[in-house]
């Protein structure tokens, strides 16, 4: 099994501290919702699916500790859960997964409060079960995405041709509960022995590519090369790259996609060089409530993430910095959206959502 970013057992939650990778592999306990909020906000755990799962599991951890004496009634439990879930949603704004799973838990809370056949202890156990189900569903979605993505690319190349692909940021086991989305497609292509080579970008400033994706590719023995973000155009000019696979933090109903900063420029380059460009994400990453990418909030992070490397300042004192964590790739640059239900063209996506 690929690297585990999240370990969870009956109310005990640990995450791999991704700020220390690849030098150190350290798991830390998350014992409260506050612990989870901080781990998400500081990016000790990151990745759209992973932060949703960790956030919801931290509520399960707190509920596991509640014995009968601390469970007064369903409305008091609801009040506490609503406050904690709404607080979790403030940890990072762009990825839709966290807010979607929080909204799903809030709907479950409302349903259980309204159901007179459910007592407060049963309500607690059902909320725990709902949160715990996210782990296995994510892995299953990712493996389906892997198969769909591999099929989509292999039907576009001649039989027997091994493919060369590029990926940006980290979308593997370290961004999910296992296997990964875009990196899950690459894992599947590798399992099918159809990978010629993988190029991964370093992905400044957090360096998800250099520190995390390179770590996963080496760990899996996948032939790969790390390049600087600024080298993508030169690579596309010099080398036959069959496709780009990236993840998503939030997809609008028209297919515009928010993903790690640098994705948009890679999409423009892919279009210019006639290279297939796939976004890989579970359908739960689509926010059908927004018409286009213009409505996606883009998180801006601390200047220090740009000015410092390993605690050492590298930028001139006094320089201003702009550090958006994401950008939006217009649907017109996206070949297909690889989901667990199939490869969907951006202009077909809206048909899958609520009208």
Ligand X SMILES: CSC[C@H]1O[C@H](OP(=O)(O)O)[C@H](O)[C@@H]1O
Closest CB to ligand X among 164 and 171?
171
H/E stretch holding 152: helix 120-154
The span from the CA of 304 to the CA of 347, in Å, is 39
Closest CB to ligand X among 131 and 178?
178
Query: C-beta of 256: minimal distance to ligand X in Å?
Result: 14
- The site that binds ligand X (CB under 6 A) totals a number of residues, namely 15
Q: With CB under 6 A as the contact rule, which of the stretches 6-14, 64-72, 174-182, 288-296 interacts with ligand X?
A: 174-182
Does the footprint of ligand X cover residue 224 (CB under 6 A)? no
Residue 24: Cβ within 10 Å count: 9
The span from the CA of 201 to the CA of 97, in Å, is 24
Q: With CB under 6 A as the contact rule, which of the stretches 27-35, 44-52, 113-121, 222-230 interacts with ligand X?
A: 44-52
Nearest to 154 by CA among 276, 42, 26, 240: 276
Query: C-beta of 277: minimal distance to ligand X in Å?
Result: 14
Closest CB to ligand X among 53 and 77?
53
Q: With CB under 6 A as the contact rule, which of the stretches 41-49, 76-84, 150-158, 214-222 interacts with ligand X?
A: 41-49
Q: Which one of 247, 255, 262, 346 is in contact with ligand X (CB under 6 A)? A: 247
Query: C-beta of 206: minimal distance to ligand X in Å?
Result: 6
Nearest to 273 by CA among 236, 310, 243, 298: 236
Q: Collapse the DSSP code of 94 into the 3-class scheme (helix H, G, I; strand E, B; otherwise coil) and give the result.
A: coil
Who contacts 5 (Cβ-Cβ below 8 Å, separation ≥6)?
15, 16, 18, 45, 47, 50, 173, 174, 175, 176, 177
2 secondary structure, DSSP code: -
Q: With CB under 6 A as the contact rule, which of the stretches 29-37, 40-48, 121-129, 227-235 interacts with ligand X?
A: 40-48
Torsions phi, psi for 28 (to 5 deg):
-120, 145
Query: C-beta of 285: minimal distance to ligand X in Å?
Result: 8
The contact mask relative to ligand X for 324-343 (x = CB under 6 A, - = no) is -x------------------
Beta bridge partners of 257: 251, 329
Q: With CB under 6 A as the contact rule, which of the stretches 67-75, 103-111, 133-141, 171-179 interacts with ligand X?
A: 171-179
The span from the CA of 15 to the CA of 240, in Å, is 38
The number of helices, as runs of H, and strands, as runs of E, in the chain is 11, 16
Q: Catalytic annotation on 138?
A: no
Does the footprint of ligand X cover residue 176 (CB under 6 A)? yes
Residues 254-273 that bind ligand X (CB under 6 A): 259-260
The span from the CA of 67 to the CA of 26, in Å, is 31
Torsions phi, psi for 354 (to 5 deg):
-65, 145
Q: Collapse the DSSP code of 246 into the 3-class scheme (helix H, G, I; strand E, B; otherwise coil) and give the result.
A: strand
Does the footprint of ligand X cover residue 74 (CB under 6 A)? no
Q: Which one of 15, 16, 39, 48 is in contact with ligand X (CB under 6 A)? A: 48
Who contacts 268 (Cβ-Cβ below 8 Å, separation ≥6)?
333
Does the footprint of ligand X cover residue 153 (CB under 6 A)? no
Does the footprint of ligand X cover residue 5 (CB under 6 A)? no
Q: Which one of 208, 254, 284, 335 is in contact with ligand X (CB under 6 A)? A: 208
Token duo for residue 248? 């998503």
Residues 186-205 that bind ligand X (CB under 6 A): none
Residue 312: Cβ within 10 Å count: 7
Does the footprint of ligand X cover residue 175 (CB under 6 A)? yes
Catalytic residue chosen out of the listed positions 249, 256, 287, 327: 249
Query: C-beta of 48: minimal distance to ligand X in Å?
Result: 4
Residues that bind ligand X (CB under 6 A): 46-49, 169, 171, 175-176, 181, 208, 247, 249, 259-260, 325
Q: Catalytic amino acids?
A: 249
């Amino acid at each position: 099994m690929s690297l585990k970013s999240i370990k969870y057992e009956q109310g005990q939650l640990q995450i791999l501290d991704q700020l220390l990778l690849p030098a150190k592999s350290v798991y830390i306990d998350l014992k409260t919702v506050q612990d989870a909020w901080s781990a998400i906000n500081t990016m000790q755990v990151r990745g759209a699916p992973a932060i949703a799962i960790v956030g919801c599991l931290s509520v399960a951890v707190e509920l596991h500790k509640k014995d009968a004496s601390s469970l007064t009634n369903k409305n008091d439990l609801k009040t506490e859960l609503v406050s904690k879930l709404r607080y979790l949603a403030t940890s990072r704004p762009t990825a839709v997964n966290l807010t979607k799973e929080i909204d799903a838990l809030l709907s479950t809370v409302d349903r259980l409060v309204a159901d007179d056949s459910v007592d407060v202890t049963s309500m607690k156990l059902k909320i725990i079960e709902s949160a715990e189900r996210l782990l296995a569903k994510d892995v299953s979605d990712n493996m389906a995405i892997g198969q769909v993505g591999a099929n989509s690319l292999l039907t576009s190349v001649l039989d027997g041709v091994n493919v060369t692909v590029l990926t940006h940021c980290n979308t593997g086991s370290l961004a999910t509960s296992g296997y990964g989305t875009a990196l899950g497609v690459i894992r599947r292509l590798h399992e099918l022995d159809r990978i010629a080579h993988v190029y991964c970008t370093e992905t400044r400033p957090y360096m998800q590519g250099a520190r995390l994706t390179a770590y996963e590719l080496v760990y899996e023995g996948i032939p790969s090369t790390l390049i600087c973000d600024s080298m993508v155009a030169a690579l596309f000019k010099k080398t036959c790259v069959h496709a780009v696979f990236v993840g998503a933090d939030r997809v609008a109903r028209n297919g515009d996609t928010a993903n790690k900063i640098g994705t948009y420029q890679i999409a423009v380059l892919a279009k210019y060089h006639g290279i297939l460009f796939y976004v890989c994400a579970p359908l739960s990453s689509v926010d059908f409530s927004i018409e286009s990418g213009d409505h996606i909030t883009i998180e801006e992070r601390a200047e220090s993430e740009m000015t410092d490397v390993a605690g050492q300042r590298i930028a001139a004192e006094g320089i201003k910095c702009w550090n958006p964590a994401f950008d939006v790739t217009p649907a017109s640059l996206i070949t297909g959206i690889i989901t667990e239900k199939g490869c969907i063209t951006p202009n077909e996506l809206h048909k899958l959502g609520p009208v």
